[in-house]
């Protein structure tokens, strides 16, 4: 079983819609969770971190964490074409090891 | 804050030569830095963890004699690709941690001809 799993997509949403990206992880004791955005040909950029159960909002982005279900998600409201990128979920496990998912490709259609 | 730089951003070299890539944390000290490689349309692959003042820890399958890592100071780690071959052509990215968060450098695109 992989440490972090994501649906590779591609996920397509129309401009203005909500994009929902999902991630599951295997180490139940993990405490730190991150979402990165990677544009084609560029390096990943940290957009959200979340450490507690529940929702964390930052502008159009909301990260949701459910430790009981070992599930973390990212919602992007009012999606824009500029949000088209690959979104990487990352988890720091109980051994302080950092694991990335394979990423979900998002396309926002104008 | 938490800015990580890499140099060079692009490099083309001939097969058999060595290439050095620098990773610097500009506004913080990093006892640990990470080196990743990414092939086109593929996910990030962790190559090694670079520890200041000690030997790097390499992931399984990564040749430590081919990918030399030096972390001589709290703000600089270097990756040297020795005797590069065309199959080493890839996007190399470093990252450094601040508390629990990792910040990535802009990456170095290596092309071996």
B51 pLDDT band (50/70/90 cuts)? confident
Mean pLDDT (whole number) for A46-74: 96
- Any B CB within 8 A of A43 CB: yes
Q: Give dist(CA B89, CA A79) in Å, integer.
A: 34
B30 pLDDT band (50/70/90 cuts)? confident
Percent over 90 (pLDDT), chain B = 74
pLDDT digits (tens, 9 = 90+) for B70-112: 998 899 999 999 999 999 999 999 999 877 788 999 999 999 9
Mean pLDDT (whole number) for A26-34: 93
User: Which of B15, B2, B21, B41 is closest to B109 using CA atoms?
Assistant: B21
Beta strands in B52-89 (DSSP E): 57-58, 67-73, 76-81
- Any A CB within 8 A of B43 CB: yes
Give pLDDT, residue B1.
Answer: 62
Give pLDDT, residue B68.
Answer: 96
Exposure string for B21-53, b = 16+ CB within 10 A, e = fewer: bbbbbeebebebbbbbbbeeeebbbbbbbbebe
Residue of B46, B100, B104 with shortest CB distance to A32:
B100
> Tokens 């092309």 sit at which residue?
B111
Give pLDDT, residue B20.
Answer: 98
Exposure string for B97-109, b = 16+ CB within 10 A, e = fewer: bbeebbbbbbbbb
- Any B CB within 8 A of A50 CB: no
- Any B CB within 8 A of A32 CB: yes
Contacts of B106 in chain A (CB under 8 A): 42-43
Token digits of residue A15:
């401009």
Q: Give dist(CA A107, CA A80) in Å, integer.
A: 9
The residue of chain B with its CA nearest to that of A31 is B100
Mean pLDDT (whole number) for B20-34: 92
Give Dmax over CA atoms of chain A in angstroms: 43
A95 pLDDT band (50/70/90 cuts)? confident
Percent over 70 (pLDDT), chain A = 99
- Any A CB within 8 A of B93 CB: yes
Give pLDDT, residue A8.
Answer: 83
Contacts of A34 in chain B (CB under 8 A): 101-102
- Any A CB within 8 A of B47 CB: no
B36 pLDDT band (50/70/90 cuts)? very high
Contacts of A45 in chain B (CB under 8 A): 104
């Amino acid at each position: 079983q992989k440490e972090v799993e994501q649906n590779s997509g591609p996920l397509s949403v129309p401009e203005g819609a909500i994009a929902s990206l999902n991630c599951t992880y295997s180490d139940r004791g993990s405490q730190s969770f991150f979402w990165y955005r990677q544009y084609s040909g560029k390096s990943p950029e940290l957009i959200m971190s979340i450490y507690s159960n529940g929702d964390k909002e930052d502008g159009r982005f909301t990260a949701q964490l459910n430790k009981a279900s070992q599930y973390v998600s990212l919602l992007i409201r009012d999606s824009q074409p500029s949000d088209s990128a690959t979104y990487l979920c990352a988890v720091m496990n109980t051994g302080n090891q950092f694991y990335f998912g394979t990423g979900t490709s998002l396309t926002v259609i104008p | 804050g938490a800015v990580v730089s890499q140099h060079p951003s692009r490099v083309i070299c001939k097969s058999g030569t060595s290439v050095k890539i620098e990773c610097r944390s500009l506004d913080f000290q990093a006892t640990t830095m990470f080196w990743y490689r990414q092939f086109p349309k593929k996910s990030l692959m962790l190559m090694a963890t670079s520890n200041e003042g000690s030997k790097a820890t390499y992931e399984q399958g990564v040749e430590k004699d081919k990918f030399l890592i030096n972390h001589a100071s709290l703000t600089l780690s270097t990756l040297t690709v020795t005797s590069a071959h065309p199959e080493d052509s890839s996007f190399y990215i470093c990252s450094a941690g601040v508390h629990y968060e990792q910040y990535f450098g802009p990456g170095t695109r290596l092309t071996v001809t």
